[in-house]
A and B are shown apart, each in its own frame.
Chain A
Amino acid sequence: MHIVYPVVVSALLFSIGVYGVLARRNAILVLMSVELMLNAVNLNLVAFDVWLRDRLHGGQVLTLFVIVIAAAEVGLGLAIVLAVFRNRKTIDVDRLRDLSEDLTEADPEEVRP
């Protein structure tokens, strides 16, 4: 197996994930794109583990750890998304502008000198 095949597939998968994170508006779709990026990293780790023939299997063990961290991340992320949805009734990431510095769109009552 030429190592360049899995590595190129994972690079393209990572770029698709980057596009999803930047272009999607729904927070759950953003989480899905983050999962795509993590999977690209996992494919890289497995390919390099097979290439380097690590006796301690560092690459595959790290892949398992990344999978566990991704599960924790998506659980916590969905809890945050649900909390945002309870308070705001929307999970569109570009409508959550409370921390924005743009004063033209802010409510004039809330603008403080």
Chain B
Amino acid sequence: MTLQAPGFWPPTGPEIVFLLLGVVALGSALLVVTTRQLVHAALWLVVCFGALAGGYLVLTAEFVAWVQVLIYVGAVVVLLLFGIMLTRAPIGRSADLDSGNRWAAALVALATAAVLVTVVVSGFRTAYAPLDPGQGAAKPLGSSIFRTWVLPFEALSVLLLAALVGAIVLSRTDIQGRK
């Protein structure tokens, strides 16, 4: 795992690409939580998830990257946009998207960031992983899902079915409770 880690300078090509994608993801995530327009928040979320998918590609996890694009960008954001539409949210600017405890929230978030960054930098400063492509392709990942992890996979499919049936029951108005 950690044999002899090369120095941090000069950064290699994949590291530069990953850091640029990370900057894009962090900046668009900041815009998601600070923008004053609800629809723009959902669209910035698309940018953030796309940049993260690029980061997965750089980390050689290509199947996870495509699943991220399919499910997050394709399904979850569309679902969130449907939610925005169905709750008749104002399309333009709205002033009251932030609650009153914004400064306390910023303080808590800064404290969380400080603690996490300090801990992970001191813990993983010397960790180094050489990237060789093909580690996260569909074939090795699929064979390990359907051999080793097949029981959690099936349990998860039942969970997804139950959650979606529950969502349908919750959102229909013509289903009455038991008398």
Interface residues of chain A, those whose CB is within 8 Å of chain B, are 1-9, 11-20, 22-26, 28-29, 31-33, 35-36, 39, 42-43, 46-47, 49-53, 56-58, 60-61, 63-65, 67-76, 78-83, 85-86, 91-94
> Given the interface contacts A2-B8, A15-B112, A67-B71, does A75 sit within 8 Å of B167 by beta carbon?
yes
Interface residues of chain B, those whose CB is within 8 Å of chain A, are 1, 5, 8, 12, 14-15, 18-19, 22, 25-26, 29-30, 32-33, 38, 41-42, 45, 48-49, 52, 55-56, 58-61, 63-64, 67-68, 71-72, 75-76, 79-80, 82-84, 86-89, 96-102, 104-106, 108-110, 112-113, 116-117, 120-121, 124-125, 127-131, 135-136, 140-141, 144-145, 148-149, 152-153, 156, 159-160, 163-164, 166-168, 170-171, 173
CB pair B170 A7 closer than 8 Å = no
CB pair B106 A23 closer than 8 Å = yes
Provide the residues of chain A in CB contact with B116, threshold 8 Å: 11, 14-15
Provide the residues of chain A in CB contact with B112, threshold 8 Å: 14-15, 18
Could you tell me the dominant secondary structure of chain A's interface residues?
A: helix
Partner of A60, one of B79, B86, B141: B141
CB pair B164 A72 closer than 8 Å = yes
> What's the Cα separation between A15 and B115 when bound, in Å?
10
> What's the Cα separation between A25 and B38 when bound, in Å?
11
> What's the Cα separation between A93 and B48 when bound, in Å?
25
CB pair A15 B113 closer than 8 Å = yes
The distance from the CB of A34 to the nearest CB of chain B, in whole angstroms, is 11
> What's the Cα separation between A52 and B160 when bound, in Å?
29
> What's the Cα separation between A26 and B41 when bound, in Å?
12
> What's the Cα separation between A32 and B79 when bound, in Å?
11
The distance from the CB of B148 to the nearest CB of chain A, in whole angstroms, is 5
> What's the Cα separation between A108 and B30 when bound, in Å?
42
Partner of A4, one of B56, B83, B125: B125
CB pair B101 A16 closer than 8 Å = no
Partner of A53, one of B1, B86, B145: B1
Q: Mind listing 26 A-B residue pairs with CB under 8 Å?
A: A1-B128, A2-B128, A3-B124, A7-B124, A11-B120, A14-B112, A23-B102, A23-B105, A24-B33, A24-B99, A29-B41, A39-B72, A42-B68, A47-B59, A57-B144, A64-B64, A65-B156, A67-B64, A74-B80, A75-B164, A76-B163, A78-B82, A82-B83, A82-B171, A94-B99, A94-B100
CB pair B113 A12 closer than 8 Å = yes
Provide the residues of chain B in CB contact with A39, threshold 8 Å: 48-49, 52, 72
CB pair A19 B170 closer than 8 Å = no
Closest to B98 in A: A23
> Given the interface contacts A5-B15, A11-B120, A85-B86, does A80 sit within 8 Å of B170 by beta carbon?
yes
